[in-house]
Amino acid sequence: MSRQRTQKPKHPMGVRAHAAQNLAPVLSQQGSLSGEIPEGIAARDQGLYRALCFGVCRALPQLEAVAAKLLKSPFKQRDQDIHALLLVGLYQLFHMRIPTHAAVGETAGGARELNKEWATRVINGCLRRADRERDTLLAEVEKTPAAAHWHPQWLLTRLEKAWPDQWREITAANNMPGPMTLRVNRAHQSRADWLERLEGAGLAARACAFSDDGLTLETPCDVEQLPGFQDGDVSVQDEAAQLAAALLLKDLDGRATPLRLLDACSAPGGKSAHLLECAPDSAVTALDSDAHRLERVRETLARLKLSATLEAADATTNDWWDGTPFDGILLDAPCSGTGVIRRHPDIKALRRDEDIAELAALQARLLEAQWQRLAPGGRLLYATCSVLPEENAEQIAAFLGRTPDARACPITADWGQSAGEGRQLMPTPDGHDGFFYALLEKSTA
């Protein structure tokens, strides 16, 4: 049986066709959104490329609803790149300051660049109608909550049930790009000293409200512009994620060094690195089931000139463990990511309602496994970047109910809000992501 060969483009691909290629696997649920810039996109167009890819995913429920009204019938599965191209055009017309003639003409021309000449007329006609009937189309589709709030209906239903007084603020924050927040390496210099260096480089930032090591840039920039980035003086990390190290280490200070610490789901390595920056004499094991992702941990630690034991293994098994218990364990569990949608807007396309129960079951298995590895008197910090109770407060309540030697340690903080035995942060415009923390201690009896 002969294989169908992929046609080489007959025309050089422009930024809109490249964006459609990136988005097509997301729409087909065959892959996540890639932040890498494809070859052939000029430096002047790279910002537009990112804006198109991430913007389409943010506004996806609205754009899909409009596309359904414009098309007589859906595109075939093999033409998901053309469907993505239509969404790229709609996003430009509705949400970007791009001249109409460019949004329509350049986008329609992208079909030719994708070797689908037949779609040029379809895209052109749909976009011209969308421009003419913009107000009517938007008013019609936004009668449905999903299109109005740019979130899939299943997620809106869950958010409204869990947070009846806050779900609108949560979705609004999810629909905005998150700020660029940095973590200053306290082992190299103080936050105040590095802020002076940053200002000397012509970059403005403000101190984070809750993380002692955090700074938020007024305007995002390339990491190469950050003073001392390659020397490990600073890292990119959201403020909510920066809270983990202090929470886990706070009441372990009095123990004999070196502390044995486990970061059970460690990639890409930011929290492992922060633990080592805060407790440089500790012995950290960074565990991750994905060997490829574990390489990112290795790269992160190398840039920061830090050392940890790296283990590529399933965190629910003991094949890798030498049997010596850990004083502290950070379990940043796989989750729905509903607190970081603004940074990963493809979650709106890729996540499904039924995923939540599957994730909660995995989280429960991970909790059980890590508890076996915790020393008596040790502490486990459970964390997710979710805002759903099934993964957070309800997960911890169920674990405590079946684990007699576990108790919850109160988290007294001026951030977030009480959520069962833990603390919940919501995504905040110009501030931190959505996160949940619960701190558990193992009985010595």
DSSP state letter for 224? G
CA pseudo-torsion sign 156, 174, 128, 72: negative
Catalytic residue (one of 221, 335, 385, 409):
385
Active site residue 385: yes
DSSP 31: S
Nearest to 432 by CA among 242, 168, 206, 300: 242
Token pair, residue 72, equals 């007589």
Return the exposure string of 281-293: e unless at least 16 CB atoms fall within 10 Å of the residue's CB, then b.
ebbbbbbbbeeee
Q: CA 26, CA 57: separation in Å to the nearest integer?
A: 9
Cross-strand bridge partners of residue 287: 311
**Alpha helices, DSSP H only, in 311-422?**
347-350, 355-373, 393-402
CA dist 250 and 316 (Å) reads: 26
Q: Residue 436 in contact with residue 423, Cβ under 8 Å?
A: yes
Q: In whole angstroms, what is the distance from residue 46 CA to residue 24 CA?
A: 19
Query: How far is 127 from 100, CA to CA, in rounded Å?
Result: 9
Instruction: Look up residue 234 and give its two tokens.
Output: 């600073």
Q: Residues with catalytic annotation?
A: 385
